[in-house]
Amino acid sequence: MIKKLVALNLGVGFVPLMCVQEELRRGELVIVPVEGFRHERTLWLVRRRTAAHSHAVQAFMQLIRSRAEPLLRGS
């Protein structure tokens, strides 16, 4: 919906780059740098409560946790 409204010149929006790559490629939308804008958001690692997890899933979860901990400590 945001992309449609922006394309119709009815506003602007903040969206992830991956959501507008095609529109950018076609020249329908453009990126406007916003000086001083600081982007922060909360992300959650979610999983199914009752399912057994493969080694790949367990390794991925451990990787995410190990990378997130320094960020949470401010390192």
Rounded CA-CA distance 4/11 in Å is 10
Where does the pLDDT of residue 1 fall: very low under 50, low under 70, confident under 90, or very high at 90 and above? confident
**By the 8 A CB rule, do 15 and 2 touch?**
yes
SS3 38: coil
- In this prediction the pTM is 0.52
Tokens 């959650």 map to which residue?
Answer: 44
Q: Which tens digit of pLDDT belongs to each residue from 17-63? A: 889 999 999 999 999 989 998 878 787 878 888 878 889 988 998 99
- 32: CB partners within 8 A, 6+ apart: 12
pLDDT at 49: 83
